[in-house]
Amino acid sequence: MAAEIPCRIFDKPCDYGKILEFQENLRNDVIAGKIEGCVLFLEHEPVYTSGIRGREEDFIKPAGDIPVYSIRRGGELTFHGPGQLVIYPVIDFRSYGFASIKEFVIFFADSIKSVLTDLCGVKNLTWHDEKAGLWVEDRKIAFTGMHFKKFVPIHGFSINISNDLSYFSRIVPCGIPDCRITSVEKETGTILQVRNVAEAVIAEINGRDK
């Protein structure tokens, strides 16, 4: 069994720019061998982010007063906001028993899938590599996009728990026309606390074989 993965939960929705800078500094310190890093669990204040394949034409409506960040991660446009759990694993994945990026990503995807199924009661979940996320039949509920440098990622995963899905109607989510977006609340009718889901994911990633 590899070492336990350190984790940190933030209590309030966070400014995206500040957390992006925090991730970058944290990664630099991990690469330099100063610290071991950790997995960050948080909610964001409303923000749109555009990955390396993001396109201006994927905005159906103007973003208005919501900030937009163009960042170096896989994928296209997405939205983050309160009620959505975001997970940023800023660790050297080799230190925790992972042999490849794919193994690392699938481990987290399977952990999230288990929590959505067992705690949240979401059924019919499938992970799609080519569509970069977890789907409930034809509806996307969890997303991924990362940028790796010397085996240490920034960015990560997001899970729609009880967030306002109308923000996704302003964009072509993930570059997929007519992409249907869902959440735990929409699928089950239950409103769960984001922190409770975060705690369950932490227990899952540190309780299963890596």
Residue 1's pLDDT is: 42
Residue 53, class by beta-carbon neighbours within 10 Å (0-12 exposed, 13-18 middle, 19+ buried)? middle
The answer for residues whose C-beta is within 8 angstroms of residue 3's C-beta and 6 or more apart is 95, 96
Span 6-21, average pLDDT = 96
Give 176's pLDDT tier (boundaries 50, 70, 90).
Answer: low
Q: Is residue 43 in a domain?
A: yes
Average pLDDT, the chain: 90
Q: How far apart are CA 157 and CA 171, in angstroms?
A: 19
**Assigned token pair, 136:** 């409930």
7 is catalytic: no
Q: Is residue 210 in a domain?
A: no
Q: Is residue 103 in a domain?
A: yes
The domain that holds 186 is classified in CATH as 3.30.930.10
Among 7, 14, 120, 174, the active-site one is 174
Q: Is residue 108 in a domain?
A: yes
Q: Is residue 1 in a domain?
A: no
pLDDT exceeds 60 at position 98: yes
The parent domain of residue 184 ranges over 7-204
Which residue's structure tokens are 């975060």? 198
**First-last CA distance in the chain:** 7
* Closest to 79 in 3D by CA, of 155, 154, 169: 169
Q: Is residue 209 in a domain?
A: no
Q: How far apart are CA 50 and CA 71, in angstroms?
A: 6
- Reported as half-sphere exposure (CB side, CA atoms, 13 A), residue 62 has a value of 2
Residue 166, class by beta-carbon neighbours within 10 Å (0-12 exposed, 13-18 middle, 19+ buried)? exposed
Q: How many domains would you assign to the chain?
A: 1
> Beta partners for 144?
157
Q: Is residue 2 in a domain?
A: no
Q: Is residue 191 in a domain?
A: yes
Q: What is the pLDDT of residues 32-78, one digit of tens each?
A: 999 999 999 999 999 999 876 656 666 666 667 899 888 777 667 89
Give 88's pLDDT tier (boundaries 50, 70, 90).
Answer: very high
Is pTM beyond 0.85? Reply is yes
Give 143's pLDDT tier (boundaries 50, 70, 90).
Answer: very high
